[in-house]
Structure 1
């Protein structure tokens, strides 16, 4: 199974509006056109949050219109800049993360959004849902898919707004050897960290990147996405930057 991950589009209802001097719609359009031209051999798209910047229905309509050009199944979750009810309304025909299918991998979403805050937090209810989803997974490797990162990445700007109660998640992961991978967005750059029994993969943003290591908002004007190939007992990843 092959998947493309897109994250952090930050689209406005106004196609010409800028975020930190970047026209985010143009960045999204550039990425979609690149994928349409060069990526032929993949099965699905996952979008890991911050699809909108202004939370409007119109911004989600622009996003889904772009994504549908790829003519692939779209699986999505919300980010801290998304308004869930508007996102779910416009994306109502799209698929949850759990409907990704692979013979040897199960994909489980985790809602890390604490609405109104940049930082992430997993509620007790969400933690219990996660435990239940894991318990019914009999033999497959598990990939968790969420918006916020649960390990410090070495960039203070975004580590200050990571998943705040990551210790709760890590306690579960440490007990569940089946969890081999965490996929997320939010950090606006490409990262890959190995931690005990799992690997954390962070995709670059579709709109722009935060300079690695920065404490203040310093942007880098390029776009990106990640590709994954899931095999029986391993996975492969590749980052594309344009």
Structure 2
């Protein structure tokens, strides 16, 4: 089973619009074309699909994601408008991966850059984990731990301690995949691995105390291979 994770597309209604350092839709299309050669079984899109929260931006996204010959699943980020997303494609909260399962969490907090899962969603997560002990992946937009950038850590997952307290009882959770940080990232929290993903648009400078673009880095995606109970993951970059 092979998953491809992409994130932070930041598309606009105008398909030719620029971001700070490039053209979001062109870069998304180039990332997907590269990912296609790896023959994914599932495409996971971990939020901030849109920059301007317009219906057109989600139409562009849905058309691009559908160009891959595999099912695709998305979740909202802090820049997204869930109702407009659902008009194009359903938002799922779980994906059956055979021997594994993927649970999708909504960390978006309306009107805020930082995220929260909230008590009700954490309680629901615990019930879902009680019901099935297969190896489990979690996906959310906001990172559930500090990444070493002061400005980004201030707008991460606000209730991350409550999340880790919830997960402490469930050894089947193997990894969490997040967006939001616009950079490759990997860190272990106890027995759970946490992975960030390059954006398909601008990259953020790792370790920066304040907002900064990484001028030298390139758009990319994360590959997640599941074989038996083994997880292998790495990042691929594209030339633009």
Q: Which TM-score band applies after superposition, normalised by the shorter structure?
A: over 0.9
State yes or no: 1:130 paired with 2:128: no
Deviates most, 189-198 or 172-181: 172-181
**In 2, Cα distance between the equivalents of 1:140 and 1:25?**
37
- Superposed, 1:108-119 pairs within 5 Å as 108-119=103-114
Aligned counterpart in structure 1 of residue 222 of structure 2, from 220, 226, 229: 226
Gap runs ≥5 in structure 1: none
SS in 1 for 2:84: helix
**In 1, Cα distance between the equivalents of 2:110 and 2:17?**
23
Partner of 1:46: 44
TM-score with structure 1 length normalisation? 0.93
**In 1, Cα distance between the equivalents of 2:56 and 2:137?**
32
Mapped contact 1:46–1:97 kept (Cα < 8 A): no
Partner of 1:16: 16
How large is the RMSD of aligned CA atoms in angstroms? 1.4
Partner of 1:35: 35
SS in 1 for 2:94: helix
Partner of 1:216: 210
1:231 is displaced (CA, Å) by 2.2
Number of residue pairs the alignment of both structures matches: 236
**In 1, Cα distance between the equivalents of 2:116 and 2:95?**
24
Mapped contact 2:118–2:159 kept (Cα < 8 A): no
**In 1, Cα distance between the equivalents of 2:96 and 2:5?**
13
Mapped contact 1:75–1:97 kept (Cα < 8 A): no
1:97 is displaced (CA, Å) by 4.8
**In 2, Cα distance between the equivalents of 1:159 and 1:241?**
24
SS in 1 for 2:232: strand
1:70 is displaced (CA, Å) by 1.1
1:19 is displaced (CA, Å) by 2.5
1:160 is displaced (CA, Å) by 1.3
1:35 is displaced (CA, Å) by 2.1
Partner of 1:235: 231
1:90 is displaced (CA, Å) by 1.0
Mapped contact 1:50–1:80 kept (Cα < 8 A): yes
SS in 2 for 1:108: strand
Aligned counterpart in structure 2 of residue 154 of structure 1, from 138, 148, 167: 148
**In 2, Cα distance between the equivalents of 1:178 and 1:44?**
21
- Superposed, 1:69-88 pairs within 5 Å as 69-88=67-86
TM-score with structure 2 length normalisation? 0.94
SS in 1 for 2:229: coil
